[in-house]
A and B are shown apart, each in its own frame.
Chain A
């Protein structure tokens, strides 16, 4: 934590150095827009806070353009951005585009084409900023012809975290072998994952420790649980794109979909059967609580969003397991890895977001400068340390980042080397509506009110109804 704070402080004081040789250019280019106030809306995340508290302040000093970032909750952020763009009210000059909503926005033509905008205004093209510097994550914010509509500002992968201290305990190893007949290691298959979960739940209880075998992001009233199932569990069982047939937009097996097929049911069965081995708060856990539970030492292993990996491993003020965190790829069903490597599947969620400019913005040029400022290579390392996110290829090699990487058991390296196995959300322009239809069934399956089979049969019908309602099923 001290390191992070130091980096924050240092970056504030050395802003001109931070903007590297490009400070003068931004100063000059920003001059015509001096006094403009840019307003943005984003989910309150550590990278967002860094942008709002550090980068925005530097940018204002340099150009006289004030950047007001409204950091709010996830559901509010969507709602307000969509309302603004829908009503064309021009409140926001830039909006946070989470990867999974980008297709909704592109479909409605809410966003300014940044590639085109820069090409048409060469004066606005900042030196030192190239869209080619970004990792492949930027591809999610491109349209069919490769034009960019959003400048990535955060990206993570959902990884498998485990407690090194627990997995390395000699007594645990011995007991595990005696009980299960093979060695105790972090899980690479679902059976092993289940065994580990079961084992540590009993082991912790016997030792009088407040810990359980696995996390489950299983809130029974919040979409976070649907996301864990659709984005992480289902794909690692080989069920992609929510089981929706991408040609006919049907999701039930009877109509050519797979959401209630064998893989989906196997995945949901596996996942709900983990609940006895999860801490009791699992059913009230969104992504917020899963990170907190793991940081509190209440779980031996689990699927955890990457934005949490770095702070859980390094920040002693918030985490009780600093230094004991192991990072790996999550287990997958046989064949899934091959499919993911060949681009025909994925093993989990490549998660993140970008800043985009709504057509309704009244300050597009100034915003264009701001987004390029955010994209400057110079900022990336400190930003990565403050927020655990990486969007540029070169950031991985930065010494400061590599130091954190070491503490975080190679999370960044893992992201660099295996990021291509992950994927963003399926390209559905009806993302929110579709997921909202599935939610109640996942909640019911988790609460034990429905069997996984019943839940998925119901979910696919509800999803099909939505896709029919909204006119996607021809």
Chain B
């Protein structure tokens, strides 16, 4: 029989091979291109070296790019906050019994299976002026004009609503899984000590759920920081820059303007920021895990 470590590496090898070839190789390529000026539409369409990190130096002063990062972070924080609070309430409520519970729960999981591009289409169909019912309903019954082609705040919040609609079910289910797996002893002792519901929730449920919350934050953050498909379908990043998240901004630089070099540098820089944020979360997670062992 193989030595233990060898067996371990053998089991890991297909994963490492695939991730290396289709994950790491492209990364190295993008990293490399990021050090060059390269636009196939230029007079000289080849890669040109204009000093070390010329793209990165440019990006540090690129207001549009920096603003897009700020916008993406703001978006992620806002959606996370809403999805976590809503998801928590819903998960808690699913622990109790009430009429039609399994029906409600099934409907709630529905958005989970819908492709982001389809979610974008559904929302466009539903909210676009001239075709969708929502602007009409808001206008007729509430006197509110919805036109996110014009109103930057509406556009931003429309994307937030779309993301909440799409991803709250995932948060609910994960938190529900966490809640269902919580040990019962602390609850019973608390009950004996005469704690009220609010105290139990703040002093027992929340602390015990922190690890699950961090996991959910990690996963949602990772995906919402690079949101593209839905936004592309709904607003295209407009009006103006209002929903030009970093993913969209890079998309426009690379696909429309064909700044391959600069766009690659943007990707690397943004990936770096994402990794740093996630690494912090991950370290907290690992540290907690170690403490408890």
Contact = CB atoms under 8 A, between A and B. Distances in A.
A183 B28 CA distance: 68
B150 A220 contact: yes
A471 B236 CA distance: 29
A293 B43 contact: no
B149 A447 contact: yes
Nearest to B150: A283
Given A221-B239, A430-B41, A282 B256 contact: no
Interface in B11-66: 37, 39-45, 64
B contact patch SS? loop
A443 interface: yes
Interface stretch (B102-110, B128-136, B200-208): B128-136
Nearest to B132: A281
B227 to A, nearest CB: 14
Given A79-B255, A284-B149, A447-B149, A470 B42 contact: yes
B240 interface: yes
A284 B244 CA distance: 15
Contacts of A470: 39, 41-43
B116 interface: no
Nearest to A283: B149
A279 B149 CA distance: 12
Interface in B230-272: 235-244, 252-253, 255-259
Best-surrounded residue of A429, A436, A437, A450 (most CB of chain B within 10 A)? A436
A9 interface: no
Contacts of A219: 149, 236, 238
Contact of A283 (B44, B131, B145, B147): B147
Q: How large is the interface on A (under 10, 10 to 19, 20 to 34, 35 or more residues)?
A: 35 or more
A228 B267 CA distance: 31
Given A281-B128, A281-B149, A283-B239, A75 B255 contact: yes
B179 interface: no
Contacts of A435: 256
Interface in B154-212: none
Contact of B239 (A298, A443, A466, A471): A443
B112 interface: no
A280 B129 contact: yes
A293 B131 CA distance: 9
Best-surrounded residue of B64, B135, B235, B256 (most CB of chain A within 10 A)? B256
A378 interface: no
A104 interface: yes
B278 interface: no
Nearest to B135: A280
A432 interface: yes
Contacts of B145: 280
Contacts of B235: 220-221, 284
A218 B244 CA distance: 17
Contact of A433 (B39, B239, B240, B242): B39
Interface string A94-112: 0000000000100110000
A280 B239 CA distance: 14
Nearest to B249: A440
A61 B282 CA distance: 61
B152 interface: yes
A433 B238 contact: no
Best-surrounded residue of B37, B44, B130, B253 (most CB of chain A within 10 A)? B130
A393 B180 CA distance: 75
A282 B149 contact: yes
Contacts of B236: 219-222
Contacts of B242: 447
Contacts of A284: 128-129, 147-149, 235
Given A223-B256, A435-B256, A447 B152 contact: yes
Contacts of B244: 221, 440
Nearest to A223: B256
Contact of B240 (A79, A282, A296, A443): A443
Contacts of A444: 239-241
Interface in A215-248: 218-223
A278 B154 CA distance: 20
Given A220-B149, A447-B238, A469 B42 contact: yes
B130 A432 contact: no
B237 A433 contact: no
Given A432-B256, A448-B150, A279 B41 contact: no
A126 to B, nearest CB: 34
Given A280-B129, A280-B130, A222 B238 contact: yes
B239 A220 contact: yes
Given A219-B238, A221-B239, A104 B41 contact: yes
A28 interface: no
Interface in B53-105: 64
A125 B18 CA distance: 49
A284 B242 CA distance: 14
A284 B149 CA distance: 5
Contacts of A406: none
A433 B43 contact: no
A108 B238 CA distance: 32
Interface string A405-448: 00000000000000000000000011111011101100110111
A29 interface: no
A120 B266 CA distance: 47
Nearest to A472: B43
A432 B257 contact: yes
A466 B257 contact: yes
A82 interface: yes
B128 A432 contact: no
A86 interface: yes
Interface string B116-130: 000000000000111
Contacts of A283: 129, 147, 149-150, 239
Contacts of A466: 257
Contact of B150 (A108, A223, A447): A447
Contact of A280 (B44, B147, B256): B147
A139 interface: no
Given A220-B240, A296-B130, A447-B239, 5 more contacts: A82-B40, A219-B149, A432-B258, A447-B242, A469-B37
Interface of B: 37, 39-45, 64, 128-131, 135, 145, 147-152, 235-244, 252-253, 255-259
Which 7 A-B pairs give the minimum distances between C-beta atoms?
A: A221-B238, A283-B149, A221-B236, A281-B130, A220-B239, A220-B238, A447-B239
12 contacts: A221-B237, A221-B238, A280-B135, A284-B148, A432-B41, A432-B256, A437-B257, A440-B241, A444-B240, A446-B239, A469-B259, A472-B43
